[in-house]
Amino acid sequence: MKPAAPGRALLCALGLALWLGCARGLQRSSGSHDWKKLIMVHHWPATVCKSTEHGCREPPDYWTIHGLWADKADMCNRSWPFKLDEIKDLMPDMKMYWPDLLHPSPNSSFLWKHEWEKHGTCVAQLEALGSERKYFGKALDLYRALALNSMLQKLGVVPSGGNYYQVSDIKDALSSLYGVPPKIQCLPPEQGEEVQLLGQIELCFTKDLQLRGCAEPGRPGAPAGGAGGAGLAQDLQVCKDGPVLYPPPP
């Protein structure tokens, strides 16, 4: 049998490569990287620090950013590394509003690296979030626009060591302000404690950055909207109906 002509062999190899590329593309688009909503995740430092074995040093007395996540995807592009230099101009706001509560360091880069590699590389398919600088910058913009700290104060929901709130009251009040229901997560009571602790509040967006309800279909059965990242608040769960304590900073 005559060997295949070089040109024909090349075409066959090219065809096979294209077919494999298309197959991989289909797998990516229909697999774990296919997401439908963005989740802006705020957490309450006093509760996050209580949920860890070693606590935190001087946690902020205001809600801070945990992350900006896609509802399904994570670790979408392992070849897109985090580079601290790309967000140098954001550093003052990052340190204030997006601190690493559990891994203190001069630049808090442990948490930011984790959030970019796990979540940022997925939502970067959107033009508005299409680079590391855009991702962190837009997350800060959304945090400021939502102004959760001010909204809770406006509602009279403030940290207290003795007064309990009803989870449904907080959820209904925030829904009335934002026009969409949030997802509220708590740290369940430990042995000897009577009530759950307010820990995390998620507000969700469409891909064109319009607010939408967090309870609308996303990932069935996902615990607490994917709560837990870089060791943060791994034990948080969707709050049970009933009383909740909003703990003051230590």
Higher per-residue confidence, 156 vs 14: 156
Output phi, psi for 185, to 5 deg: -120, 150
C-alpha torsion 80→232→28→205, nearest 10: -100
Percent of the chain past pLDDT 70, that is, above it, reads 77
Per-residue pLDDT band at 242 (split at 50, 70, 90): very high
pLDDT band at 34 (very low <50, low <70, confident <90, very high): confident
Report how far residue 50's alpha carbon sits from residue 70's, in angstroms, rounded to the nearest whole number: 27
Contacts of 129 (CB under 8 A, 6+ apart): 68, 120, 123, 135, 138
- What does the pLDDT read at residue 7? 45
* Per-residue confidence band for 235, with pLDDT thresholds at 50, 70 and 90: confident
Per-residue pLDDT band at 221 (split at 50, 70, 90): very low
Q: How far is CA 127 from CA 30, 31, 76, 135, 215, in A?
A: 20, 21, 16, 10, 25
From 42, 43, 114, 115, active-site residue: 115
Tell me how many degrees the CA angle 52-228-37 measures, rounded to the nearest 5. Answer: 155
Nearest 5 degrees, angle CA 175-CA 245-CA 240?
A: 60
Active site residue 115: yes
Residue 66: CB atoms within 10 A of its CB come to 28
Task: Give phi and psi for 197, each to the nearest 5.
Answer: -110, 135
Paired with 237 in beta bridges are 186
Phi/psi for 38 (5° steps) reads: -95, 145
**66 in active site:** yes
Question: Each residue of 142-175: pLDDT tens digit?
Answer: 999 999 999 999 999 999 988 899 999 999 999 9
Which of 114, 117, 119, 202 is an active site residue? 119
Residue 35 CA from chain centroid, whole number: 13
- The single residue of 33, 66, 117, 202 carrying the catalytic annotation is 66
In the chain, the N- to C-terminal Cα span, in Å, equals 83
